[in-house]
Amino acid sequence: MGKKMKQRVVLVVMLLLVAACPALAQQPADIDAILQGAESMFKAMKQKDYPGIWKYISARSRTTIVDTTAKGVVKSYSREQVKTDFSIGGLIAKSYWDEYLRYFDPDTALEQSKWEIGPVTRQQAEIVLQHRKSDHPARLKMFNEGGQWKVGLIESFGTERRDRPIW
């Protein structure tokens, strides 16, 4: 290999390393933010912090919950009233989340599961939660919305099925 070819190879390798370094430095911070978003939502559930839960779930999950609640459960309230109630942790939100938490104990995720980061892109990520007594992991979908990582509660666990726990 000639001297000029060696110089080109070294230059290309150096450029690739320089280009990769910001991405590598950014990745742990992104992973921390992803995990923090999920952990914050589970902690809000544990503390029955209804506005906190609402803050940490994805826009699609919020829309689905509001639509389902407004159509099926609370017909005397408008969609906007239901949405406002969830955002402030009102009576509708309390009823909804208390019922949800009858079937799901956030400690199963916080204290009884091993967490691993799955695939990560700029807009989506996945957290694999392996409960100590389960043969199959739960896959928690996360979405970057406005620079914050939100839990895709509905996206992860399908529908409004509260007839069984997710584990």
Share of the chain above pLDDT 70, in %: 75
Is 6 contained in some domain?
no
Is 57 contained in some domain?
yes
How much is the pTM?
Answer: 0.77
Is 8 contained in some domain?
no
Q: How many domains does the chain have?
A: 1
Which band of pLDDT confidence, cut at 50, 70 and 90, is reported for residue 11? Answer: very low
Is 105 contained in some domain?
yes
- Identify the pLDDT of residue 75: 72
Mean pLDDT across the chain: 83
Which band of pLDDT confidence, cut at 50, 70 and 90, is reported for residue 6? Answer: low
Which band of pLDDT confidence, cut at 50, 70 and 90, is reported for residue 8? Answer: low
Q: Is the pLDDT of residue 163 over 90?
A: no
- Identify the pLDDT of residue 120: 94
Calpha distance 68→70 (Å, rounded): 6
Segment 96-104 mean pLDDT: 94
Q: Which two tokens stand for residue 7?
A: 């110089």
Is the Cβ–Cβ distance between 141 and 34 less than 8 Å? no
Q: Which residues contact 33 (CB under 8 A, 6 or more apart)?
A: 148, 149
* Dihedral sign for Cα atoms in the order 53, 54, 55, 58: positive
Segment 78-90 mean pLDDT: 95
Is 38 contained in some domain?
yes
Q: Is the pLDDT of residue 101 over 60?
A: yes
Any idea what the CATH number is for the domain that residue 151 is in? 3.10.450
Residue 154 DSSP class: H
Q: Work out the end-to-end distance of the chain between its first and last CA atoms, rounded to an integer number of angstroms.
A: 59
Domain that holds residue 104: 29-157
Is 63 contained in some domain?
yes
Is 76 contained in some domain?
yes
Segment 120-144 mean pLDDT: 94
Which of the two residues, 132 and 158, has the higher pLDDT score? 132
Q: Which two tokens stand for residue 99?
A: 């019922």
Is 167 contained in some domain?
no
